[in-house]
Structure 1
């Protein structure tokens, strides 16, 4: 009897702390009208495919248009319109399609990952079996990734926004992207970054610096040398900044190490290592522009 009670308690605890629709994130308002939701998106897809033959290639009528292309087309090489990503999860069984900007993804995996997106306000539409369920607008920032969950009975939730850092994703597996906002993963979000200093290595590094470098200028040189081969967490950078004597050196180091930080979303903790409020504002202004 005692064993049964223990098992029930554990199961109840798992259910209590499990993911739940509407438990995490910011609800994004559904902007789709009732009329739009009653019309099938299949019609839209058919209009896109009117010029496609059974083989998947364009039909003979449009094949002749190839000869009408300009001799010297105006190519756009390395067109820089910004880069952003959007990751959307639909944890329900069903046939869903997600349209974002000029990209459309349909699958049964429940994971929709959009890359190479421009920055700015981008409309997103979610369909089930060809019918529109939800439509809203995302505010996508350059060099950032939005993470969202969609529940048919609850709506679309923006879980978090992350800065993209040198192409590294910083999680053990793709599920961690969605699980972390619910607090269901033990992954700190930084252990997959290459060359990030572990706690033991960082303590050894600090001990050596205190032994070999007495003044701010020597400490900064010591830190920059290590920074050529290693990445730091925001907590580690806060400790390094706080160890300096003069605030002007602290703010300079805090700015220079921002590019070496693996968890920029927590960089606000570095501001606590600065002595003056004006310096903290200066750092926040710097972060907002980078």
Structure 2
């Protein structure tokens, strides 16, 4: 009897592990960061400028996307209505582009270093119109070596708002580098700024550029978690050590 119980328990564990490993995650937005509502299979989420779907089974799914303020039965406001394919064990980051096409621009291992949109005007679909705002860091918690050097709280907030309202990474990279030229930052602030960028090369370039203006370099290790590839971390470490 005991052996049967253990065998049954083992099968349940194996089944649960298999299901989890095959689950996927989808994060969807519009190419212009506009608000929209979305229906994936039988799940409908209200207006926002990004949507999340987790624990998705692999395979074909029905997706319908409407601009904010549209009624579901007004076909003129539908910007995508079709089938999409979800691979197993993946985090997918996708947009509906200017041609009303579903485009996956980033694919990662399921749950690995998941990227969540940040910014003053970020609003998640299905949250009843409630806006998510960045938590401003209390400057009283800034370490002594940064207290009188770090970029002022209001200026830092304006910087994040500026790059959040721009779509082009190259332009945002220039803005951040200009800010770095004229200010000091904490390692945690650099981590926050890197979350606004998607491409590995851009994040690596900014991380290298920022190191000379980070006032608490002992905490710079936190920046390493922002990269998807170990090769990027190695390159950054070599840059810092002068290799």
TM-score by length of 2: 0.39
Higher CA-based Rg:
1
Q: TM-score, normalised by structure 1?
A: 0.33
